């Protein structure tokens, strides 16, 4: 995948997020005294990339064996924290580069349970001599205060259009794709500022072009059936009052595509403004319903019941 | 009068007085007879049948006929290995010393409801029963409602299994007539017929009903069965109820376990078919959603919801707070307060069981997806979730555009062959199931060549393959719906199976029984009870009674007389010696007294 191929391999290659990267670089000048890091920012803005760059710089090329890379949203229970992280953090390692501590990269930390975070906080304290943490999250508010205060926080901002387009153009050039500025702009537009998604779009589009010429029509044609569209379809059906069909789409989303209830809500929140059937007044009501459902989902409830209840509510709004 | 339960008063003392299950009674008597001979059988006897068909009565009556003393154990006894040995040890060994006279041949151990033996508390329960059977010098009779579980396999091997069936309604009617005549009561024919038909072949409940109705004087009262409400009754009760307290009563009486969210899911599937008015639907769903939150707050493990394990992470492993259950149930009681738009029974017929089925249907797909996501997540430094949403759709799109390129990329991601196969199949978006439906015979059908993976999936979906004939067959015919969906899914075209009902219908046309009393032929189709009679489709049950016999007031006596032709005269059983009575025997004796 191009997202791996064109992932910057050192901090110098990271072109955007200048202030953030400069700050990190300054800290890395004295590797022995670096703090724990907390990277926060929207998806596709380079948090994981920077974390990997830091790891590479500290540990050398063979960093993968010296770094514990965990995806907190996959492994977010307290058990993982207690067993894997604690075990890893207590081993004193020496990297070929001479660094005398281990490194734990925890991605999507805001998805971790509170209990797990509390356990993590303890470990960060007790193992500060043998281990450093890089925590990555989308929402800083999802991280408990005590952890935040133990880290240097770096915020990653959404990419400027110009920066992103520059990157995309660079990729086009090295892949020998002839894509006009309009096409690249459209790719960025579709990606909503998420560089990872933008690069993915570009790759998919490039795969289906013949002779390296990429135009707008090909681009629109090959777009993968995004779940966003299915979610919009579901919302639309619900707002039009067709509960049964909306529920069918919901089952398709959940059953076939493995989309979780919260992701449906999140997606629906994004799509609300794109439904012509929803007037401004209705939109407000829809968003309120979505919020209520989101709250109910956090109460440890059965997802398909909750989403169905939401759809029933929406279809009532639509009939008003 | 009327203090004695009729079920006890009219409990047959000898096997000849037993109603129905003529073949089973014969088989049981033959087994009992062996115990009176020199060479004793090694096997115990397992009587299997639904409640109230006379399993215990048969054992007791036959024991009486052959002069055995019954030592009884009930399901309520704790059946740990230790408890069984403690209880049975003395009984077993003392028999040889026990009054071995011409009349009393010794003890017969009767263990009721052995299918209740399971679970952690009864650890070793079946093992203990088996070891007792193997060593026992006395006959052991076990009864069970349902032994269709592999944990009873060993037990079945150690026993002669005799199947008892529901009592035919016509026989029940004869019995009811007999009892009423004996008691000098009258109940209108309609009610009698309804009781006979609706008691599901359960003699005990039929007799109880007739006693209640005739004693209460309300001769036309519909019998108010105290049986727990089944799925259908619960749902219709819930939605027919006016107000919360009434609905709450339904919930109190349901047999659906309320500590799981089974009922919630049933309602979930049903709601849109019951309420077509959006506001009503929204209201009902709101109640359901609140109930669901209530269950969430209890924090017990739930059904797996839409997704199989990889996508359905456990929520938390705290101790469930069962004190919150009443709160949740009160919420649940409000689900059906609005007047339904559609008839409940029709809704139940048309509503598909989505919430449970979808899981089964997409399970293998999601497992495959999970495997792929794990690979992608590792290679791209992402979480599985992100891999699922951010990369996999693009990969599929790349495969669709250019499979060769896709394969290269997939190999770079360290995807395995099975992941690549999955991506290829995904990219060839399976066309919506179109085309003429194929109707296949579930007991043997042919399918075109499909490749290894699909074959394995078919096997998993509950289909077996016979190499010799090259034919597939559905392993269990009772879940054809699910298998049908999966096979259609796997083969990407609609496939239907012939239903066993169609086959059953053919049998129905031929179902003829013979009158036990005067050997007249009876055609089941013409019988009033054909819908309620559970046994007319069982060809091995040959007997019933004809209209002519039934119309006579002495139908039951005639039946018993016919039954008793071969039976021996009843002799008194020797009284039990007080010194040797065990706890169990004491209880048996106490029961006999009243």
CB B419 within 8 A of CB B395: no
| The pairing of beta strand B463-466 with beta strand B471-474 | antiparallel
Of A199, A222, A245, the residue at which a domain comes to its end is: A222
3-state secondary structure of B54: coil
3-state secondary structure of A128: coil
The DSSP H or E segment spanning B449 is: none
A65 and A94: one domain?
yes
CA neighbor of B258 nearest in space, from B324, B345, B309, B307: B324
Query: Given pLDDT bands bounded at 50, 70 and 90, which one contains residue B91?
Result: low
- Helices B403-412 and B392-401, packing angle to 10 deg: 140
The b/e string for A116-138 (b: 16+ C-beta within 10 A; e otherwise) is: bbebbbebbeebeeebbbbbbbb
Task: Share the mean pLDDT of chain B.
Answer: 73
3-state secondary structure of B88: helix
Identify the DSSP state of A215: -
A92 and A120: one domain?
yes
A264 and A300: one domain?
yes
Per-residue pLDDT at A300 exceeds 80:
no
Counting residues of chain A whose pLDDT is more than 90, the rounded percentage is: 6
The DSSP H or E segment spanning B579 is: none
Average of pLDDT values for B61-82? 70
- Test B293 with A204 for CB contact under 8 angstroms: no
Lowest mean pLDDT among A55-69, A245-259, B235-249, B509-523: B509-523
Identify the DSSP state of B388: I
A241 and A197: one domain?
no
pLDDT, position B54: 85
pLDDT, position B573: 38
| Cα–Cα distance for residue pair A101/B406, rounded to 1 Å | 39
Lowest mean pLDDT among A271-275, B26-30, B314-318, B448-452: B314-318
CA dihedral sign of residues B234, B238, B241, B243: positive
Q: What is the CATH number of domain B6-165+571-593?
A: 3.40.50.300
CA B114 from chain centre, in angstroms, equals 15
pLDDT, position B97: 40
Q: Is B281 on the interface with A (CB under 8 A)?
A: yes
A205 and A174: one domain?
yes
| Contact list, A207 vs chain B (CB under 8 Å) | 397-398, 401-402, 405-406
Higher pLDDT, B453 or B163: B163
Average of pLDDT values for B338-364? 72
Which of A217-226, B56-65, B200-209, B469-478 has the highest mean predicted lDDT (pLDDT)? B56-65
Average of pLDDT values for B479-506? 67
Q: Which domain holds residue A274?
A: 227-319
Lowest mean pLDDT among B216-230, B270-284, B322-336: B216-230
| Contact list, B271 vs chain A (CB under 8 Å) | 308, 312
Counting residues of chain B whose pLDDT is more than 70, the rounded percentage is: 71
Q: What CATH number is given to the structural domain containing A275? A: 1.20.272.10
A151 and A40: one domain?
yes
pLDDT, position A38: 92
Of A178, A202, A222, the residue at which a domain comes to its end is: A222
Query: Given pLDDT bands bounded at 50, 70 and 90, which one contains residue B124?
Result: low
Q: What CATH number is given to the structural domain containing A165? A: 1.10.8.60
CB B591 within 8 A of CB B7: no
Q: Where are the domains of chain B?
A: 6-165+571-593, 169-216, 231-352, 357-427, 438-502
| Contact list, B400 vs chain A (CB under 8 Å) | 208, 222
Lowest mean pLDDT among A262-266, B47-51, B75-79, B325-329: B75-79
pLDDT digits (tens, 9 = 90+) for B166-225: 888 888 888 888 888 888 888 778 778 878 877 777 888 888 878 877 776 554 444 444
CA neighbor of A314 nearest in space, from A242, A228, A233: A242
- Test B265 with A305 for CB contact under 8 angstroms: yes
Q: Which residue of B has its CA nearest to A208?
A: B401
Of A222, A248, A268, the residue at which a domain comes to its end is: A222
A8 and A105: one domain?
yes
Counting residues of chain B whose pLDDT is more than 90, the rounded percentage is: 0
pLDDT digits (tens, 9 = 90+) for A250-296: 888 877 777 778 888 888 888 888 777 777 788 888 899 999 998 88
Nearest by CB: B366 against A251, A258, A315: A258
CA dihedral sign of residues B523, B525, B528, B530: positive
Structure ipTM:
0.75
Residue A39 forms beta bridges with which residues? A136, A154
**B:516-575 residues touching chain A, CB 8 A cutoff:** none
- Test B306 with A299 for CB contact under 8 angstroms: no
Q: Alpha helices of B275-315 — where are they, by DSSP H?
A: 278-298
3-state secondary structure of A41: coil
| Cα–Cα distance for residue pair B526/B192, rounded to 1 Å | 19
Report the residue of B266, B285, B321 to disrupt the A interface, i.e. the one with the largest count of A CBs within 10 Å: B285
Nearest by CB: A74 against B285, B289, B383: B383
Give the distance from residue A49's alpha carbon to the nearest chain B alpha carbon, in angstroms: 9
Higher pLDDT, B300 or B50: B50
Residues 6+ apart with CB under 8 A from A75: A84
Average of pLDDT values for A140-148? 86
Size of interface A-B (CB pairs under 8 A): 178
- Test A308 with B285 for CB contact under 8 angstroms: yes
Tokens of A71: 């995806």
Q: Is A155 left (phi over 0), alpha (psi -120 to 50) or beta?
A: beta
Residues 6+ apart with CB under 8 A from B522: B512, B513, B514, B515, B544, B545, B546, B547
Q: Full-prediction pTM beyond 0.90? A: no
Q: Which residue of A has its CA nearest to B291?
A: A301
| Contact list, A103 vs chain B (CB under 8 Å) | none
Nearest by CB: B358 against A200, A251, A301: A251
Q: What CATH number is given to the structural domain containing A90? A: 3.40.50.300
The DSSP H or E segment spanning B151 is: none
Q: Is B361 on the interface with A (CB under 8 A)?
A: yes
- Helices B262-274 and B231-240, packing angle to 10 deg: 50
Query: Given pLDDT bands bounded at 50, 70 and 90, which one contains residue B301?
Result: low
Average of pLDDT values for A241-246? 87
Per-residue pLDDT at B572 exceeds 50:
no
- Test A304 with B299 for CB contact under 8 angstroms: no
- Test A303 with B409 for CB contact under 8 angstroms: no
CA A25 from chain centre, in angstroms, equals 23
Give the distance from residue B360's alpha carbon to the nearest chain A alpha carbon, in angstroms: 9
pLDDT, position B504: 45
Nearest by CB: B354 against A72, A222, A251: A251
pLDDT, position B536: 66
Average of pLDDT values for B248-276? 82
Residues 6+ apart with CB under 8 A from A154: A20, A23, A24, A37, A38, A39, A40
Our count of domains for chain A comes to: 3
Nearest by CB: B397 against A48, A72, A204: A204
CA neighbor of B241 nearest in space, from B330, B336, B326, B347: B336
pLDDT, position A51: 92
Report the residue of A309, A310, A314, A318 to disrupt the B interface, i.e. the one with the largest count of B CBs within 10 Å: A309
Average of pLDDT values for A184-205? 82
Per-residue pLDDT at B275 exceeds 70:
yes
**B:393-412 residues touching chain A, CB 8 A cutoff:** 393-398, 400-402, 405-406, 409, 412
Lowest mean pLDDT among A27-41, A136-150, B39-53: B39-53
pLDDT, position A177: 82
pLDDT digits (tens, 9 = 90+) for B92-113: 554 444 444 444 567 788 887 7
């Amino acid at each position: 995948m191009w997202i791996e191929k064109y992932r910057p391999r050192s901090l110098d290659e990271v072109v955007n997020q200048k202030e953030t990267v400069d700050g990190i670089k300054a800290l890395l000048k004295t590797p022995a005294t670096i703090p724990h890091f907390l990277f926060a920012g929207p998806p596709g803005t380079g948090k994981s990339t920077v974390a990997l760059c830091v790891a590479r710089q500290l540990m050398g090329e063979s960093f993968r064996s010296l770094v514990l890379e965990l995806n907190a949203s996959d492994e977010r229970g307290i058990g993982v924290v207690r067993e894997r992280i604690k075990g890893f953090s207590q081993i004193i390692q020496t990297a070929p580069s001479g660094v005398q501590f281990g490194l734990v990269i925890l991605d999507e930390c805001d998805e971790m349970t509170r209990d797990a975070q509390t356990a993590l906080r303890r470990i960060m304290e007790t193992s500060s001599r043998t281990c450093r943490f890089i925590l990555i999250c989308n929402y800083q508010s999802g991280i408990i205060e005590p952890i935040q205060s133990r880290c240097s926080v770096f915020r990653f901002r959404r990419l400027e259009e110009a920066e992103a387009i520059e990157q995309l153009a660079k990729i086009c050039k090295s892949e020998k794709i002839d894509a006009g500025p309009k096409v690249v702009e459209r790719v960025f537009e579709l990606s909503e500022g998420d560089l990872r998604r933008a690069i993915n779009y570009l790759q998919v589009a490039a795969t289906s072009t013949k002779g390296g010429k990429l135009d707008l029509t090909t681009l629109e044609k090959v777009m993968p059936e995004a779940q966003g569209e299915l979610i919009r379809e579901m919302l639309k059906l619900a707002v039009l009052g067709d509960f049964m069909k909306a529920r069918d789409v919901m089952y398709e989303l959940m059953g076939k595509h493995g989309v979780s209830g919260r992701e449906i809500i999140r997606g629906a929140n994004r799509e609300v403004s794109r439904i012509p059937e929803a007037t401004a007044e209705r939109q407000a009501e829809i968003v309120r319903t979505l919020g209520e459902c989101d709250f109910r989902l956090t109460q440890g409830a059965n997802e398909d019941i909750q989403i169905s209840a939401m759809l029933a509510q929406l279809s009532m709004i639509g009939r008003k | 009068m009327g203090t004695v339960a009729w079920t006890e008063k009219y409990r047959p003392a000898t096997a000849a007085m037993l109603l129905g299950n003529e073949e089973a009674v014969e088989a049981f008597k033959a087994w009992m007879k062996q115990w009176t001979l020199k060479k004793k059988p090694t096997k115990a006897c397992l009587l299997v049948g639904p409640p109230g068909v006379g399993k215990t009565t048969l054992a007791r009556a036959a024991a009486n006929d052959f002069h055995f003393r019954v030592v009884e154990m009930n399901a309520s006894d704790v059946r740990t290995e230790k408890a069984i040995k403690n209880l049975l040890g003395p009984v077993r060994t003392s028999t040889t010393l026990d009054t071995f006279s011409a009349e009393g041949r010794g003890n017969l151990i009767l263990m009721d409801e052995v299918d209740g033996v399971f679970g952690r508390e009864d650890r070793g329960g079946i093992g203990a029963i088996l070891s007792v059977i193997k060593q026992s010098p006395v006959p052991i009779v076990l009864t069970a409602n349902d032994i269709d579980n592999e944990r009873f396999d060993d037990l079945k091997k150690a026993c002669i299994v005799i199947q008892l069936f529901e009592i035919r309604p016509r026989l029940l009617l004869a019995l009811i007539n007999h009892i009423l005549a004996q008691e000098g009561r009258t109940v209108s024919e309609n009610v009698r017929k309804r009781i006979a038909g609706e008691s599901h072949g359960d003699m005990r409940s039929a007799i109880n009903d007739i006693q209640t109705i005739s004693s209460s004087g309300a001769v036309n009262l519909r019998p108010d069965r105290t049986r727990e409400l089944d799925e259908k009754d619960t749902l219709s009760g819930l939605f027919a109820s006016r107000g919360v307290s009434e609905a709450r009563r339904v919930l109190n009486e349901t047999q659906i376990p309320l500590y799981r969210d089974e009922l919630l899911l049933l309602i979930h599937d049903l709601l849109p078919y019951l309420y077509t008015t959006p506001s009503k639907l929204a209201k009902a769903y709101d109640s359901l959603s609140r109930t669901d939150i209530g269950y969430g707050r209890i924090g017990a493990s739930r059904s797996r919801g839409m997704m199989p394990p990889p996508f359905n992470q456990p929520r938390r492993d705290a101790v469930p707070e069962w004190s919150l259950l009443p709160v949740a149930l009160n919420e649940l009681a409000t689900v059906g307060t609005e007047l339904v738009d559609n008839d409940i029974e029709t809704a139940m017929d048309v509503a598909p069981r989505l919430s449970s089925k979808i899981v089964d249907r997409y399970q293998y797909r999601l497992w495959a997806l999970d495997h792929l996501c794990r690979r992608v997540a590792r290679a791209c430094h992402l979480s599985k979730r992100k891999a699922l949403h951010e990369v996999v759709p693009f990969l599929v799109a790349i495969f669709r555009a250019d499979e060769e390129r896709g394969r290269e990329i997939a190999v770079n991601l360290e995807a395995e062959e099975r992941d690549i196969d999955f991506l290829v199949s995904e990219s060839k978006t399976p066309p919506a199931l179109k085309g003429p439906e194929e109707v296949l015979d579930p007991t043997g059908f042919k399918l075109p060549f499909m490749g290894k993976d699909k074959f394995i999936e078919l096997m998993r979906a509950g289909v077996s393959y016979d190499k010799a004939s090259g034919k597939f067959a559905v392993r269990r015919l009772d879940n054809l719906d699910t298998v049908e969906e999966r096979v259609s899914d796997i083969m990407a075209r609609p496939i239907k199976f012939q239903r066993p009902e169609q086959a059953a219908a053919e049998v129905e046309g031929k179902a003829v029984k013979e009158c036990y009393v005067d050997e007249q032929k009876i055609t089941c189709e013409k019988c009033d009870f054909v819908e309620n009679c559970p046994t007319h489709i069982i060809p091995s049950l040959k007997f019933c009674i004809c209209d002519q016999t039934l119309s006579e007031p002495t139908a039951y006596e005639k039946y018993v007389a016919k039954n008793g032709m071969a039976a021996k005269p009843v002799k008194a059983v020797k009284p039990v010696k007080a010194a040797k009575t065990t706890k169990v025997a004491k209880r048996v004796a106490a029961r006999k007294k009243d």
